[in-house]
Structure 1
Amino acid sequence: MDTNTIAKPSWFQRFLLPGFAFKAVVIGGGYATGRELAEFFIPSGPWGGLIGILLAMMIWSLVCAITFAFARLTQAYDYRSMFRQLLGPFWIIFEISYLLFMILILAVVAAAAGAIGEQVFGLPPMAGTLLLIAAIVGVTTFGNQGAEQLFKYGTTFIYVVYGVFLVLAIASFGGLIGPALTSGVPTDGWVVGGVTYASYNVVAVVAVLPFLRRATSQRDALIAGALAGPLAMLPALIFFLCMAAFYPAIGAEALPSDFLLQRMGVPWFQIVFQLMIFVALLETGAGCVNAFNERIGEAMVDRGRPSLSPLGRLAIATPLLVGSAFGASQIGLVDLIATGYGAFGYIMLVVFVLPIVTIGVARVVRSKAPPLGPAPEHGPVGEVARD
């Protein structure tokens, strides 16, 4: 397809959509409920946790910027294509790692949806899980367009709710936040916590790749990557500040969000916040499944076959989500995050973060930038990617 025939991308699509997509996959995997923040940052104390979060944010921005530029350079807009360029014959190592990690993420969001339905609305855990599965399947059936609309409007809703959350928290127990930050609690472990958290979460960037087609230049890709870190971490910073008021007890809560909402004593907002968490979980699940669908679709196109149809996306998403949800029901939310995420942090550091900041940077620096303009929605990897 001649890129001149492609509609000119909007400012939102070029600079903000990639960050919104990255945030979408990161937030519902754990920190929408506060469980991830409790696991990786509360042990370092209120001040150490904040520093660790800022470190993770900077790592995200750096890795996203490099990854976005590398993906555009190689015209690789699904993770299979990109890691064949980055790792060569060893790309299959990332494929296996990512598939396992994706199942873990889907299990976490399924468990969180079940826990919310049970604790807030008194429903059987499987009811919330099945509702989330149905919503994810509905969004991903429409491919990138469905995911883009979800990320656009879902993110706006999430930011507004977190803003109200901060206002109500300050009004309810804001006097506890300042003393907690200046309490002199040791900050041990903030570097390990920040790096580990950033390493396993940054793999969410592979869900962003289909939306990088809208970048019209390497400058677009770099700016979008730099913005991805703050866009993804802003709600976490707000949430952690509120959690700090109840350090260290909040570290043992399965749903820190529910713990804080109960102390605000605003029943209507508790319902709104839980709806926001559901939207966050939906964004994460939809981002993961859409990335998997795009990987399969691009492989089909490479073989001269049409890309996935809506029915094909439905057939892939349903068993993937149901299987992950079953695993979540057997393990539980806290154990999933505590045991699974930490291990994958080290795996992703080796198979993704280190290669992209070495091999990826070298390729971007020494290679000629691709022509200006957005890429077609589907098609084989371009000439640059095949060298």
Structure 2
Amino acid sequence: MINSGRIRNLLQCYFLPGLVFQSVIVGGGYGTGREIAEFFLVHGPVNGLLGMLVAGLCWSVVLAIAFEFSRLTHSHDYRRFFKQLLGPGWVLFELIYLLIALLVLAVLGSAAAKMVTDLFAWPGIWGTLILLACIGLLAYLGTRVIERALTFWSVLLYLVYAGFLLWVVHDFGGDIAASFNSEPNTSTIWYWDGVRYAAYNLNALAAVLFVTRHLHSRQQALGAGALAGVIGIVPGIFVFIAMLAQYPHIISAPVPVTALLQGLGAIWFFVVFQLILFGTFVETGAGIIHAINERVAGAFQERHKTLPKTYRLAIALGCLSLAMLLAEQFGLITLIAKGYGMLSYAYLAVVILPLLTFGLVRILRSPKTRAKDQKTQTSRSWV
């Protein structure tokens, strides 16, 4: 007989972290297709796809180590996590995180404005304001609502992206095949762009730590991390393959996904997909803001206080307003081409290298008895 409690715990342990990770990266990572073009499609179809596989592998390895480090140190917000990992140098991470957070929020605001203009012919400011209101509401409602919203929308996005890919392949499969058979790109840095892409998107780690409280053993932490990399990269590969239908001129499109949707010629699906895409902007922004709120909440907790909901809303609105100024000043393509690339190097130095060295050593030296005891206790609670 199937134990529903056991299934629920398995889903929380192994799939929830990956679904939340995918929810947070989708808006800034591949929701518009612009990032896929910038980091992968410029290297050609084959090299670009290989670069995406490198990115997914990097996510799996780093997240597996990060989740286990979080479990061992009981660090479920980025302030505690990076104090354990970097000591006094944790403030460097916070600076980089805030910069990347503002950059991603600016990209989301710029894309939301363009989407509303293309879809309804409204002034772009309405898209920005609607995005701001939705993210602010989720930030105000807190952890449980955000966890459920991100999980639901992530599953919905998977279904819609899979349908989108099948439709594009059905209508333009010959063009996609021709793109793969085109003259190969001789670029030799495709793998490095895969690493850089993985690096700046691992900024989402800070936004995923709040769900690591569900992990009770080393096996669960490592398994959830490895699976999160797969869950995160698959929708991006869907977008990459679909973009080959208009390769190579789609590389210069500000929002390549919109160009693909227009090529399908189905207004109803164009509207549905755009609404789903707008929802991904909301969940990405909500995850980023929630990580900041959880960091502040942790500081309040150390003083035996509770962060008021109104403070959560104020932090969200403040960060979003500043990000919108960036979007207005620089524009979508410039933000992605310049900002993401520079900050990815900083993230490699401050987050990934310490995790793969000090973090891994600390995990290997930690006693395994605690993990086994917790696993046994958890399995008993399922019965």
* TM class, shorter-length: over 0.9
Distance in 2 (CA, whole Å) between partners of 1:209 and 1:70 is: 11
2:241 maps to: 241
Distance in 2 (CA, whole Å) between partners of 1:51 and 1:289 is: 32
1:277 maps to: 277
Distance in 1 (CA, whole Å) between partners of 2:341 and 2:358 is: 25
2:228 maps to: 228
1:381 maps to: none
1:173 maps to: 172
2:316 maps to: 317
Higher mean C-alpha displacement, 204-213 vs 365-374: 365-374
Distance in 2 (CA, whole Å) between partners of 1:171 and 1:14 is: 36
- Does residue 105 in structure 1 map to residue 77 in structure 2? no
- Trace 1:323-338 onto structure 2 (pairs within 5 A): 323-338=322-337
Higher helix share: 2
Q: Deviations over 1:133-184 (max 9, x none)?
A: 1001111112111111111210111011101101210122111111211223
Q: Deviations over 1:295-324 (max 9, x none)?
A: 000111112222x22222112111111221
Task: Give the CA deviation at 1:30.
Answer: 4.0
Task: Give the CA deviation at 1:210.
Answer: 0.6
SS at match of 1:112: helix
1:128 maps to: 127
Distance in 2 (CA, whole Å) between partners of 1:11 and 1:141 is: 29
Q: Deviations over 1:62-120 (max 9, x none)?
A: 00000000011111111010111111111111111111111111111111111111122
Number of positions where the alignment pairs a residue of Structure 1 with one of Structure 2? 367
Distance in 2 (CA, whole Å) between partners of 1:100 and 1:281 is: 18
Q: Deviations over 1:253-298 (max 9, x none)?
A: 0010111111111111000110111111111000000010000001
Distance in 1 (CA, whole Å) between partners of 2:85 and 2:116 is: 41
Distance in 1 (CA, whole Å) between partners of 2:266 and 2:280 is: 21
Give the letter aligned to residue 121 of structure 1. F
Which runs of no fewer than 5 residues in structure 1 stay unpaired? 1-6, 375-387
Task: Give the CA deviation at 1:187.
Answer: 4.5
Give the letter aligned to residue 87 of structure 2. G
2:44 maps to: 45
- Indicate conservation of the 8 Å contact 2:60/2:225, yes or no: yes
Distance in 1 (CA, whole Å) between partners of 2:257 and 2:186 is: 23
Task: Give the CA deviation at 1:230.
Answer: 1.0
Task: Give the CA deviation at 1:245.
Answer: 2.3
Distance in 2 (CA, whole Å) between partners of 1:9 and 1:368 is: 28
- Trace 1:1-387 onto structure 2 (pairs within 5 A): 10-188=9-187, 189-306=189-306, 308-369=307-368, 370=370, 372-373=373-374
- Indicate conservation of the 8 Å contact 2:100/2:203, yes or no: no
- Indicate conservation of the 8 Å contact 1:110/1:325, yes or no: yes
Higher mean C-alpha displacement, 249-258 vs 214-223: 214-223
Distance in 1 (CA, whole Å) between partners of 2:16 and 2:164 is: 24
SS at match of 1:362: helix
Higher mean C-alpha displacement, 363-372 vs 286-295: 363-372
- Indicate conservation of the 8 Å contact 2:158/2:235, yes or no: yes
Higher mean C-alpha displacement, 54-63 vs 296-305: 296-305
- Indicate conservation of the 8 Å contact 2:165/2:242, yes or no: yes
Task: Give the CA deviation at 1:55.
Answer: 0.4
Distance in 1 (CA, whole Å) between partners of 2:32 and 2:71 is: 34
Task: Give the CA deviation at 1:205.
Answer: 1.0
Distance in 1 (CA, whole Å) between partners of 2:99 and 2:105 is: 10
TM-score (structure 2 length as normaliser): 0.93
Which runs of no fewer than 5 residues in structure 2 stay unpaired? 1-5, 376-383
- Indicate conservation of the 8 Å contact 2:197/2:344, yes or no: yes
Q: After TM superposition, what 4+ stretches of structure 1 lie above 3 angstroms from structure 2? A: 369-374
Aligned residues: percent identity?
A: 42
